[in-house]
Amino acid sequence: MQTEPTVAPTRRDALKAPGSLAAAAGLGLSGWYASSSDTINIALVGCGGRGTGAVADALSTTQGPVKLVAMADAYEHRLKGSFNQLSNNRRIKDKIAVTDDTKFTGFDAYKKAVDCLSTGDVLILATPPAFRWVHFGYAIEKGVNVFMEKPIAVDGPSVRRMLTLGEQAQRHGLKVGVGLMCRHCDARKELERRIRDGAIGDINMLRAYRMAGPTATAFSPPRPANIPELHYQIQRFHSFLWASGGAFSDFLIHNIDECCWFKGAAKGQQSDWPVSAKASGGRHYRGNNIDQNFDSYSVEYTFSDGGKLFLEGRTMAGAYDEFASYAHGSRGSAVISFRGHSPARCRISRTQNPTDRANITWQAPREEPDPYQLEWNHLMDAIRNNRPYSEVARGAEASLITAMGRMAAHTGQVITRDQALAWTHEFAPNVDKLAMDGPAPLLADNDGKYPVPEPGIKIKKEY
């Protein structure tokens, strides 16, 4: 997460300058705090469960005072629900400083929330991923630090935009966190150290699984007549490729990212990203659901050294469940995560069966610090102490590699990383111009159904 260091005077010096916010951003001073006694203000854009949870974690940091001062969402009922939940949280309710005047709704609400912040404050972006580059760009323009949920892009064009924006934010000295919290897990970091030291030898294969029952928001029934097309798709964004990259991008990115992290650790690198993917998948028990997702995905990722990551995703009721990631090396194997993201339950085995307790040579402590909280602790530390901090490039790469696997399954072709990055098809090229009463990027047919992936037939476009 390190970037080139930023040398800056104190925040107070920056704010004395004419046009303080713009001047600070232009000089690369954003994110700097003169002392830990300064209050960091937070604004939330996207008031769903993830945004609400991110606020709770941000307000639970202990390095210095912090307050939530503004909230924005396209829909009033979502903002109201989030505000009530946060206000009723006894642990953080005294840090909620949102008023009726700093609650904003509509597609332009994000600008009003950002405008409530000053240099050194933090914007949380937790809207559907399609809007990430639009909101991030405005945050950079205003010179505020950012925490954004994953994935941060859903196709080649949006990945390229995010990489460019990340470079701009870095030049301005902004601190940017991305919600791939597994990278902040203490147990995984200790496992990384041991793998770097050769505990399981060279890693030649990894396995990852997220197989569970149907996810409610990823399976959508026909649109009710009283909900406009655009609003239906945004409110059920996991069901639509343009809004989220579908269930594949949204739910499988953590397993992919942590596996690439540990493949790199064995080589002494921060990450090792696959160079190609081939995949299969299909739609099975659809009922009357009209979403664009497959029910099962099976992807073989190939690394530059020929190593493999085998990824299995499935959302079917009554089938075998597994939620885990494993690494297999020349001298043993390791559990990267088991039964979910947290706690990780990391351990090392001298055999190729990482769950064989009889051959465990090391395992993480039973009690693990919450990585969702740790990622906020690390971001706030960087802001208050002006430490270089940018997770954008890594978040964009993880989003790209995830999209590469999805593209391979949806087209039936072998897709390389370079092809995925250069892909010209953009799901929502005019997402920054969407209006509350305007059309949706995707239209249903006369039967109310949406285009779905057809591997081997629809190759140039994913749907």
Domain ranges of the chain: 11-182+374-390, 186-369+400-433
Q: Report which residue type is found at 363.
A: Q
229-255 per-position pLDDT tens digit: 999 999 999 999 999 999 999 999 999
Burial of 317 (0-12, 13-18, 19+ CB in 10 A): exposed
Q: Which two tokens stand for residue 106?
A: 């509509």
Q: How far apart are CA 135 and CA 348, in angstroms?
A: 41
In whole angstroms, what is the distance from residue 319 CA to residue 341 CA?
21
Q: What size, in residues, is the chain?
A: 463
- What local confidence, expressed as pLDDT, does residue 7 receive? 31
Report pLDDT for 285. 85
What gap in Å lies between CA 9 and CA 95, rounded to an integer? 28
Q: What is the fold, at CATH topology level, of the domain defined by 186-369+400-433?
A: Dihydrodipicolinate Reductase; domain 2 (3.30.360)
State whether residue 297 is helix, strand or coil. Answer: strand
d(CA 154, CA 427): 8
Backbone torsion region of residue 22, taken as left when φ is above 0, otherwise alpha when ψ lies between -120 and 50, otherwise beta: alpha
Question: Quick one: CA dihedral 78, 83, 84, 85, positive or negative?
Answer: positive
Listing DSSP states for 227-260 in one string gives S-HHHHHHHTGGG-HHHHSHHHHHHHHHHHHHHH
- What's the chain's average pLDDT? 91
Closest CA relative to residue 113, chosen from 137, 138, 130? 138
Element (H, E) at 439: none
Cα 109 to Cα 114: distance, rounded to the nearest angstrom:
9
Asked whether the beta carbons of 162 and 392 are under 8 A apart, the reply is yes
CA atoms within 13 A on the CB side of 23: 12
Sheet with 40-45: list strands edge to edge: 103-105, 66-73, 40-45, 122-125, 145-148, 176-178
pLDDT by residue (tens digit) across 64-74? Answer: 999 999 999 99
Helix (H, G, I), strand (E, B) or coil at 72: strand
pLDDT, position 27 = 37
Low-confidence ranges of the chain (pLDDT < 50): 1-37
Q: Check: CB of residue 193 under 8 Å from CB of residue 350.
A: no
- Topology (CATH) of 11-182+374-390: Rossmann fold (3.40.50)
Which of 339, 337, 289, 285 has the alpha carbon at shortest distance from 315? 285
Per-residue confidence (pLDDT) for residue 31, from 0 to 100: 46
Report the C-alpha gap between 60 and 326 in whole angstroms: 32
